[in-house]
Amino acid sequence: MKFTAQNRRLPRRVCALAMTFVLLLGAVTFAFAGGVMGTPDGEWNNNLIHRVNLGVSPTNFTFYLTEEREQFSFEILFSAQKSEADFYGKILTATLSGLDYDYLSWTPSGIASTPYSPKNAVLPVEDGVARTWSWYASYTFTADKAEIYNLSFDIRFVSGKNLENAEEHLLSVPITVSVVDKRGLRPAITEAEKITSFEYYTDASVARYNAALASARALLEDTAVVSQVQLDAAISELNASVSSLTYKSADYTALDAALKRVPSDLSDYSPASAKRVTDAVNAVDRTKRIFEQDSVNAMTQEINAAVDALVVQNFRLILPEDGSYTLNEKSGYITDIPDDAAELTGLTANFGDVSVTPSANGIGTGTAINIVYKGAVVKTVYVSIPGDIDGDGDADNADFLMIMNASVGIIELSSAQAAAADLNGDGAVDAIDAATHQLTYPS
């Protein structure tokens, strides 16, 4: 329904001179929606068209829809003035097209002679001077969705040097009315504000959430012009920031320390104890979050317990890499040591410590190299130097005599001595070994 309302005009005419001054400054007015200030801007003003100065402002309006269906109002200030006092000018109609508005109200503004509406308004001359007439066109419309209305304020008028030469003209001024749907903003903010504790979330995700929420709150309260695209982007970012809040990782510091205790090679341990360690390591889950710290602690405890329970089943003597010792892998004896060694040094073990017990005659055949683990001797490797039977480290005539006596059963040799005496390697100590000794180690 459209009609021209003429009530409430008289009080405005009291302000005629003041409004004329405003008009000359640019005639900026405001729009309102449901009692809330709108955001008008733009003007089409003081343009000489066919001997008539015409002005229309504002030309852009933005309203914010916060209810299911709302009624909005805006005002356009329209002004007209002949360019010269002796010219002829008449406004025929001024209409807004492109909007199905509910109400239209014209209200004169400016000088006292201004008629109630611009329809058929012959532009005035007072005291020989062309005067300006202006009117407020107040439009009320109803909206229930976001929309941009591209309207046209159409002015039909006649003008000319005189009435006889006057011609009809049409001027169309673009008017844009934007309705931005804010209805989704409040629910999004309300949902986001349900999150009240942030101690479990990462700093980066919390920072994104705070920025998005602050932006959304500002859009909810701010009257600055914002497009539907901007508003929808803000809602989308707020929702995304909520869903992307990321829990902090659990603390894996102690677990990493436990993993450093795991031997790189488990082949020296019993299969059962090595398997327990392997299973504990394979069970590590790096995806646990801060509120699952107990689960990480349990993993750590199991790794430490499995490492502590490892059972060594293979103790190995480790020789220096300088070649000063020789270990016969087949016999298991140390068959060469540094010359004239007063003690054996540089020997280590894969587990535990190494101690050396010399033979009765010093460092030589029969010297025991012990691997000591947890206070007990767990393995002994003996020195057995070919030709050195008495254990003094030298192959000499005394050793020859011991081979001779052993070959006829007068004395019994230890296993290390027997290996040192068996010079031909046939597994027996006999006259051949004695002869070989004489030839190999002459006195």
In a domain, 103, yes or no: yes
Q: How confident is the model at residue 341 (pLDDT cuts 50, 70, 90)?
A: confident
Q: Identify whether residues 339 and 353 lie together within a single domain.
A: yes
Mean pLDDT across the stretch 110-114? 91
Q: Identify whether residues 79 and 170 lie together within a single domain.
A: yes
Q: From the centroid of its chain, how far is CA 23?
A: 55
Mean pLDDT across the stretch 416-426? 95
Q: Check residue 7 and give its pLDDT.
A: 30
Q: Inform me whether the pLDDT recorded for 413 exceeds 50.
A: yes
Q: Identify whether residues 84 and 216 lie together within a single domain.
A: no
Q: Which domain holds residue 258?
A: 253-308
Number of domains in the chain: 4
Mean pLDDT across the stretch 55-78? 95
**Distance between CA atoms of residues 208 and 195, nearest Å:** 14
Q: Identify whether residues 46 and 90 lie together within a single domain.
A: yes
Q: Identify whether residues 233 and 259 lie together within a single domain.
A: no
For position 413, which CATH number holds? 1.10.1330.10
In a domain, 226, yes or no: yes
Q: Which of 180, 213, 229 is the last residue of a domain?
A: 180
Q: Inform me whether the pLDDT recorded for 18 exceeds 90.
A: no
The amino acid occupying position 413 is L
Mean pLDDT across the stretch 262-284? 97
Q: Check residue 421 and give its pLDDT.
A: 96
Mean pLDDT across the stretch 217-227? 81
End-to-end CA distance of the chain: 139
Mean pLDDT across the stretch 408-437? 95
Q: Which of 162, 180, 198 is the last residue of a domain?
A: 180
Mean pLDDT across the stretch 297-319? 96
Mean pLDDT across the stretch 175-189? 95
For 319-338, what is each residue's pLDDT tens digit?
Answer: 999 989 999 989 999 999 99
**Backbone φ, ψ for residue 401 (5° rounding):** -60, -40
Q: Check residue 220 and give its pLDDT.
A: 87
Q: How confident is the model at residue 226 (pLDDT cuts 50, 70, 90)?
A: confident
**Distance between CA atoms of residues 293 and 297, nearest Å:** 6
Q: Check residue 221 and give its pLDDT.
A: 82
Q: Identify whether residues 159 and 236 lie together within a single domain.
A: no
- Residue found under tokens 């982007």: 233
In a domain, 386, yes or no: yes
Helix (H) or strand (E) holding 392, with range, is none
Q: Identify whether residues 276 and 140 lie together within a single domain.
A: no
**Backbone φ, ψ for residue 211 (5° rounding):** -65, -45
Q: Identify whether residues 47 and 125 lie together within a single domain.
A: yes
In a domain, 271, yes or no: yes
Q: From the centroid of its chain, how far is CA 2?
A: 56
Q: Identify whether residues 378 and 323 lie together within a single domain.
A: yes
Q: Check residue 224 and give its pLDDT.
A: 66
Select the more confidently predicted residue: 225 or 207: 207
Strands (E), 233-340: 317-318, 326-327, 334-336
In a domain, 197, yes or no: yes
Q: Identify whether residues 239 and 270 lie together within a single domain.
A: no
Q: Identify whether residues 80 and 175 lie together within a single domain.
A: yes
Mean pLDDT across the stretch 352-376? 95
Omega of the bond prior to 58 within 30 degrees of 0, cis? yes
Q: Check residue 47 and give its pLDDT.
A: 60
Q: Check residue 225 and give its pLDDT.
A: 72
Q: Inform me whether the pLDDT recorded for 15 exceeds 70.
A: no
Q: Check residue 48 and give its pLDDT.
A: 66
The amino acid occupying position 362 is G
User: Could you give the residue ranges of the DSSP H alpha helices within 7-79?
Assistant: 10-13, 16-25
In a domain, 363, yes or no: yes
For position 293, which CATH number holds? 1.20.1270.90
Pairing of strands 326-327, 125-126: unpaired
For position 176, which CATH number holds? 2.60.40
Q: Identify whether residues 140 and 58 lie together within a single domain.
A: yes
**Distance between CA atoms of residues 43 and 249, nearest Å:** 57
Mean pLDDT of the chain: 88
The amino acid occupying position 214 is A
Residues 6+ apart with CB under 8 A from 256: none
Q: Inform me whether the pLDDT recorded for 22 exceeds 70.
A: no
Select the more confidently predicted residue: 222 or 164: 164
In a domain, 248, yes or no: no
Q: How confident is the model at residue 17 (pLDDT cuts 50, 70, 90)?
A: very low
Q: Which of 180, 196, 219 is the last residue of a domain?
A: 180
The amino acid occupying position 159 is S
Are 314 and 285 a contacting pair, CB within 8 Å? Answer: no
In a domain, 370, yes or no: yes
Select the more confidently predicted residue: 34 or 208: 208
